[in-house]
Structure 1
Amino acid sequence: MRKVGLLAAASGLALLVSACGSGSEGTEADGNAPAGLARAGEVTFCTDPEYPPMEYYAEGDTGTPIGFDSDGAKALAELWGVEAKWQITAFDGLMPGLQAGRCDILWTALYMSPERLEVADATAFLETGPGLIVRSGDTSITSSEDLAGKTVAVQGGGSNELTIKALSDELEAQGLPGITVQAYPKTAETVAAVTNGKADALIETDVAVVEMVNKSGGALEAVPDIFPADTKFGVFTKKDSPLSPAVADGIRTLVENGTLQEIAVEYGLDPSRVVTG
């Protein structure tokens, strides 16, 4: 699933674009803006808008990302009375981009893994976990043990890759064949690997599985209950940043007033998975 190797080099191709959401464009700080923003009157979010329904571009639009994360970020900016801007960043440059100060906040469907929490602060906003996708009609995988000796595609550099490698180690410890892990830079490449028969399955965050299956035209299907929903997505800030408590307070407000739940429903997500903390 998702996402970013902590020590990967930041992408040099990041593109800064302004958000166009109602209520945030062109606004100025009104006294609600927290300390720690790089520029007065605006908050910049690092994102990789290639992960529907969390962050993506609407068809024909390559300027303003939409999705649960993107709309949530705009809601946070509106709460603070500042303009939302986006630092469009390649997946492996997301956490380095935050650390280098290219954005104030990293909000783009990243697990709150122990490795990330060592280098950044985070506030939870959505419970999640890995999901598994296979070619339609493939009934050979119904449990995690059935992945022994299989080839599994994954977007490289993130927690899902660690999960599938850990499972491979567990299977080998039981005397079973390990898993051949195929890591790709983009999720679309993992889909192609399964569709074309290069991989038996792909592991992806559960929130993205439904979207990927729906867009496959019947070529793919999800296998339920292979992995537990055992982690949370987080909104990340620099370690010990003055923004960290402000983000936590802001996310809590957006949960308590129902804003994030409404956004979840809009994008086909389970609103009961929305959390804070």
Structure 2
Amino acid sequence: MPVRSRSIPAVLGAAALAVIVAGCGAGGDGSGGGTSGGAAPSAPAPAVAKDDALAAMVPAPIASDGRLVFGTDASYPPNEFTDTDGTTIIGMDVDLGTAVAQKLGLTPEWQNSQFSGIIPGIEGSRYELGMSSFSITPERTQTVDMVSYLTAGTSLAVASGNPQGIAPDNLCGRAVGVQAGTVQVDDIAARSAACTAAAQPAIQVTELQQQTDVTLALTSNRIVAMLADSPVVAYAVTTTDGAVEAVGEPWDTAPYGIVLAKNQGQFAQAVRGAVQSLIDDGTYGRVLEKWNVSNGAVPASEVRS
């Protein structure tokens, strides 16, 4: 999951500000193999034509083999996850990244990785782009460039009907699940610290390696709530046969970014131009609608470095 740079709700207090350093995106168990999040929506990914001007901006070492190699952790539906065959990587990020590659005249190649290994893999030239729900943060842009393409926040999910009246500000003493390595780990830690500082019981945190396991823990009543990125919660609501609902509005909204190595000439601008072209021609909107994440749409893409 990506690290997020974001403000903390006032209820958490100033002490929480020092805690928010990890990130959302995908976790993984070290193998890079994600669990299936279900079948893809029936609508096919839109076909995209090459943009010769943008393709000409791609550095020769990247363009020479005709491939664009993406690193992703396919355990974070609906953004990136494996199809029901357990092998094919699908999701919103995959459809958008594939369209970016096509704009640049390249064939996408998606490689499943442990989340923590993607940025080092980009810095070490294993991957040419990283697309795995990475939030854009100052810490990340010190070492890599990022191209914005979506916004997302943290959402709270509970059992349908919310029989316990759970809300973000009354989690003290409750069993709450988060995925390891995500910004939600820091969020829940700060909330739990606020509980104990107010002489209330600490939050009973369940931290699991795969987001799909966190969702399963909620639907099987092993936890009473979960925190996850807003697209992930929205997807869980639509794919759990009515067992899950979201509570309130997302908070700490921040942009996602495509990750690429620094000092690559016009490559970052080529990727930004591809995303912007997809926004302008409607492909972007169709992909977001397909995966039910249209509320995270951005009007323009930017390079953050």
TM-score by length of 1: 0.81
Shift of 1:224: 1.9
State the SS of the aligned residue for 2:181.
coil
Instruction: Structure 2 unaligned segments of length 5 or more: list them.
Output: 4-21, 34-44
In the alignment, the residues of structure 2 paired with residue 69 and residue 181 of structure 1 have an alpha-carbon distance, to the nearest angstrom, of 29
Equivalent position amino acid for 1:255 in 2 = I
Shift of 1:84: 1.0
- Map 1:1-277 → 2, pairs under 5 A: 2-3=1-2, 11=30, 31-35=55-59, 37-38=61-62, 40=64, 41-60=66-85, 62-63=87-88, 65-225=89-249, 227-242=250-265, 243-270=267-294, 273-275=297-299, 276-277=301-302
Instruction: Structure 1 unaligned segments of length 5 or more: list them.
Output: 15-19
Equivalent position amino acid for 1:50 in 2 = S
1:205-257 Cα offsets, whole Å, 9 max, x none, are 111112212222232222123x4152111111124443333322322222223
Alpha-carbon spacing, 1:9–1:206, altered in 2? closer, same or farther (3 Å): closer
Answer whether contact 1:56 1:66 (CA < 8 A) is retained: yes
In the alignment, the residues of structure 1 paired with residue 28 and residue 224 of structure 2 have an alpha-carbon distance, to the nearest angstrom, of 30
Answer whether contact 2:48 2:103 (CA < 8 A) is retained: no
Shift of 1:264: 0.7
State the SS of the aligned residue for 1:262.
helix
Deviates more, 1:76-85 or 1:113-122: 113-122
Shift of 1:147: 0.7
Structure 1 equivalent of residue 42 of structure 2: none
Aligned residues: 266
Shift of 1:22: 5.4
Deviates more, 1:47-56 or 1:81-90: 47-56
Equivalent position amino acid for 2:287 in 1 = I
In the alignment, the residues of structure 2 paired with residue 155 and residue 66 of structure 1 have an alpha-carbon distance, to the nearest angstrom, of 20
Answer whether contact 1:149 1:180 (CA < 8 A) is retained: yes
Shift of 1:97: 2.5
Alpha-carbon spacing, 1:149–1:272, altered in 2? closer, same or farther (3 Å): closer
Deviates more, 1:32-41 or 1:264-273: 32-41
State the SS of the aligned residue for 1:112.
coil
In the alignment, the residues of structure 2 paired with residue 50 and residue 144 of structure 1 have an alpha-carbon distance, to the nearest angstrom, of 25
In the alignment, the residues of structure 1 paired with residue 148 and residue 55 of structure 2 have an alpha-carbon distance, to the nearest angstrom, of 25
1:12-47 Cα offsets, whole Å, 9 max, x none, are 668xxxxx99568xxx99953511754512211111
Alpha-carbon spacing, 1:58–1:116, altered in 2? closer, same or farther (3 Å): same
In the alignment, the residues of structure 1 paired with residue 285 and residue 258 of structure 2 have an alpha-carbon distance, to the nearest angstrom, of 16
